[in-house]
């Protein structure tokens, strides 16, 4: 069994707390590594190193900082297979899905290469008599990020790439469930030319999180995870005077209008609902067909597609549609919610409760589930399941379908499938959700736009990546300058100060 480490001051170092967490192989259920769980002293050591290194890095011009990102992109391409394999081994997702995880983080790094343009301020010549005015964006100092298990490559890069290219030092606290890839990313950043101490990885649990939130040197904190924890981190971080950006849970609806291409809609739901075993904050977990006939046609299309899904370990290659969930506790919670759906009267059309994979009986595999005739009062509708469970909620008309997405307390993403441009435009304009797909099931914006939900899916007023990231990781300083005139009539100079 491997003992993992922190990454502090340019080296992999053991922790001092004496506490460890188990890292499982989700396909077999076996413990494959131990990860040290940091205490406040471990975190403070990293902060001191970061604080000492950051001023010199902030003084490097943006173009040279961007060159580090350019080299980092090259190294990510070089090590893509290695990163994907390490990610799959600890998370359980398939190799193509793991490579996609790395790729979507890489795209944000590519966007950050534009830092010289993105960090430019504003200038007004002649704002008043002899007065010029300009603004500049300056680094915050030491920043931190607390990232989830479901995207152990993408979300860390969404945070540390813009933070670092803006001139900050960054301390990453990844999920203790799959910590190997973040450690590898930190090493690749230094190979790309990043100075020691600018990116460090401190593994841990709530004790490390609280140490981050309470440390007076850390200026900003980013978080992605569940809504209750997002709310906790936002409140505690803000009360300590930090800039905080927290993204919570989701319950994403997909409305299927009667005129939709039903094959296209069914195919989209299979990928969006069951891909990555449903462990995505942008997964579609609620299908809302409009009208009974639409609902019947949709379910009829879904069932044979679900029956053909192949569930297995990442080592099975491209033949597997999705792998295990991340832990035994995650599996137990999913199955508990499935049982609640049955007990509360939903129709379980596809039952994956007895799924068992020969040779991997101790793995954390969950078979695909499909519920029909789900109602708003059921737990499977109200709660984020984070598993391969799709619920069909039948709506009588378009307004009822729209209301379902609008009334839910979470507002991360939603989609509509239709051939009607008026319906699509009306939906996009009215629905109170942060990311909208029109015939696109998982509407995650590309790197040069921003990612973020509404309602209880987000705490804070700036989104991830895109232009918002450069606002979040910098402060604006505005300078008003007035220079005394030294020119007199006749071309002579007078250097007396102006009144």
Q: Which of 143, 166, 246, 281 is catalytic?
A: 281
Residue 288 CB partners (closer than 8 Å, separation 6+): 253, 254, 255, 256, 392, 393, 394, 395, 401, 404, 405
Contact between residue 285 and residue 385 where contact means Cβ atoms under 8 Å apart: yes
281 is catalytic: yes
Question: 154-165 and 95-112 helices cross at what angle (nearest 10)?
Answer: 10
**What gap in Å lies between CA 158 and CA 143, rounded to an integer?**
13
How many helices (H) and strands (E) the chain has is answered by 16, 23
Structure tokens at 227: 């809504």
List, in sequence order, every beta strand (DSSP E) within 316-473: 347-350, 369-372, 389-392, 410-411, 413-417, 435-438, 454-455, 458-459
Contact between residue 61 and residue 29 where contact means Cβ atoms under 8 Å apart: no
**What gap in Å lies between CA 41 and CA 122, rounded to an integer?**
42
**What gap in Å lies between CA 462 and CA 378, rounded to an integer?**
32
**What gap in Å lies between CA 229 and CA 247, rounded to an integer?**
9
Taking alpha carbons only, the member of 347, 384, 389, 349 closest to residue 367 is 389
Beta-bridge mates of residue 311? 322
3-class DSSP assignment, residue 112: helix
**What gap in Å lies between CA 98 and CA 317, rounded to an integer?**
12
Residues in the chain: 499
Beta-bridge mates of residue 371? 348, 391
Sign of CA dihedral 107, 113, 117, 118: positive
**What gap in Å lies between CA 482 and CA 334, rounded to an integer?**
65
Q: How far is CA 397 from CA 80, 117, 127, 206, 298, in A?
A: 46, 47, 56, 45, 16
Q: From edge to edge, which strands make up the β-sheet containing 169-173?
A: 11-13, 6-8, 199-201, 169-173, 142-146, 218-224, 243-247, 458-459
**What gap in Å lies between CA 27 and CA 250, rounded to an integer?**
26
Structure tokens at 16: 């001092």
Residue 13 CB partners (closer than 8 Å, separation 6+): 5, 6, 7
Q: Which residues are catalytic?
A: 281
């Amino acid at each position: 069994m491997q003992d993992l480490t922190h990454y502090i001051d340019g080296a992999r170092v053991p922790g001092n707390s004496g506490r460890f967490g188990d890292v499982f192989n989700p396909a077999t259920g076996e413990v494959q590594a131990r990860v040290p769980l940091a205490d406040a002293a471990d975190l403070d050591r990293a902060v001191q190193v970061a604080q000492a290194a950051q001023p010199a890095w902030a003084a490097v011009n943006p173009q040279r900082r961007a060159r580090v990102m350019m080299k980092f992109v090259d190294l990510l391409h070089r090590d893509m297979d290695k990163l994907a394999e390490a990610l799959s081994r600890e998370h359980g997702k398939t190799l193509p899905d793991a490579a996609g995880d790395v790729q979507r983080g890489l795209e944000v790094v590519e966007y950050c290469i534009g830092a010289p343009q993105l960090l430019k301020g504003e200038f007004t010549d002649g704002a008043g008599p002899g007065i010029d005015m300009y603004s500049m964006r300056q680094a915050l100092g030491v920043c931190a990020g607390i990232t989830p298990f479901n995207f152990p490559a993408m979300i860390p890069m969404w945070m540390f790439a813009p933070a670092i290219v803006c001139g900050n030092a960054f301390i990453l606290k990844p999920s203790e469930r799959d910590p190997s890839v973040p450690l590898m990313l930190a090493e690749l950043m230094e190979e790309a030319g990043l100075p020691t101490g600018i990116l460090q990885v401190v593994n841990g649990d709530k004790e490390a999180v609280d140490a981050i939130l309470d440390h007076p040197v850390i200026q900003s904190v980013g978080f992605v995870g569940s809504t209750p924890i997002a709310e906790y981190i936002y409140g505690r971080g803000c009360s300590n005077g930090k800039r905080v950006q927290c993204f919570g849970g989701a319950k994403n609806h997909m409305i299927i209008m009667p005129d939709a291409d039903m094959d296209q809609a069914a195919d989209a739901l299979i990928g969006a609902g069951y891909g990555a075993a449903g462990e995505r904050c942008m997964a579609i977990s609620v299908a809302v067909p409009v009208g009974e006939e639409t609902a019947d046609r949709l379910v009829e299309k879904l069932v044979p597609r679900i029956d053909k899904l192949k569930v297995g370990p990442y080592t099975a290659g491209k033949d597997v549609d999705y792998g295990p969930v991340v832990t035994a506790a995650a599996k137990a919670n999913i199955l508990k919610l499935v049982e609640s759906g049955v007990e509360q009267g939903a129709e379980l059309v596809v039952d994956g409760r007895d799924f068992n994979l020969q040779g991997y009986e101790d793995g954390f595999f969950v078979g695909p589930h499909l519920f029909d005739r789900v109602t708003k009062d059921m737990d499977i509708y109200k709660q984020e399941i984070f598993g391969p469970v799709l619920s069909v909620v039948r709506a009588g008309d378009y307004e009822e379908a729209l209301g379902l997405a609008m009334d839910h307390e979470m507002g991360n993403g939603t989609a509509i499938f239709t051939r009607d441009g008026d319906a699509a435009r009306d939906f996009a304009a009215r629905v109170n959700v942060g990311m909208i797909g029109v015939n696109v099931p998982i509407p995650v914006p590309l790197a040069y736009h921003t990612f973020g939900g509404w309602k209880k899916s987000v705490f804070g007023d700036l989104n991830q990546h895109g232009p918002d990231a450069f606002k979040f990781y910098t402060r604006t300083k505005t300078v008003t300058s007035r220079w005394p005139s030294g020119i007199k009539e006749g071309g002579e100079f007078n250097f007396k100060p102006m009144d």
